[in-house]
Amino acid sequence: MRLPILVTGAAGFIGYHVAARLLAQGHQ
């Protein structure tokens, strides 16, 4: 199931890697 996920602080170091991992898992 693909759910739109809003990652707050995506510009931060941790947020960037979290967003990259979620995108790699197929999330939008």
Instruction: Determine what percent of the chain is predicted with pLDDT higher than 90.
Output: 0
Q: Which residues of the chain have pLDDT under 70?
A: 1-15, 27-28
Angstrom distance (rounded) from CA 22 to CA 28: 8
Q: What is the pTM assigned to this prediction? A: 0.39
Please report the pLDDT score of residue 8 as a whole number.
57
Q: How far apart are CA 11 and CA 1, in angstroms?
A: 26
Q: So where are the chain's domains?
A: 1-27
**Which pLDDT score, from 0 to 100, does residue 12 have?**
64
Task: Work out the widest C-alpha separation in the chain, in whole angstroms.
Answer: 27
Residue with tokens 């967003």: 19
pLDDT for 5: 65
Please tell me the predicted confidence (pLDDT) of residue 7.
59
